Amino acid sequence: MTLQHPADRGGVGRGRFERFAESVSRVTSSPAFFVFCLALVSFTVAVHIAGIATEWLLLAGDSMTAVTLLLLALLKNSELRAERAIQRKLDAIAAALLEAQEGEPGEAHENLRDVIRMEEEI
């Protein structure tokens, strides 16, 4: 396990967790997942109102806690990837502008082209 920022890990492709997080991110932003969360919350409220056995209350609470923690981890991963992609793009734009101001386009312009498509890699 590595503690580096996802964009700083190097390599051409993304790791298994990054690919998995991206896939799950697509699922969690779907209407079907919203309906699932709404059903889970409704189940929890119904269990509390009905005064059903303690085991069901624990199941409802534990389910909501597990979903919350998983979503938090995915949200943080997405936030880090987006933050790093934006910073690298800004750095590339600044370097390309400096090269253009000096009148000699070079490596920074090539780097800018690569960074523009960076979200496909991170």
pLDDT in tens, 27-73: 888 888 889 888 888 888 888 888 888 888 888 888 888 888 888 88
Average confidence score pLDDT of the chain: 77
∠ CA 24-32-70, rounded to 5°: 35
- Residue with the bigger pLDDT between 73 and 118: it is 73
Query: Considering only CA atoms, which of 56, 118, 64 is closest in space to residue 86?
Result: 118
Query: Considering only CA atoms, which of 16, 13, 21, 11 is closest in space to residue 1?
Result: 16
Report helix angle 54-102 to 16-28, nearest 10: 110
Q: How far apart are CA 122 and CA 82, in angstroms?
A: 9
The whole-number average pLDDT for the span 111-122 is 62
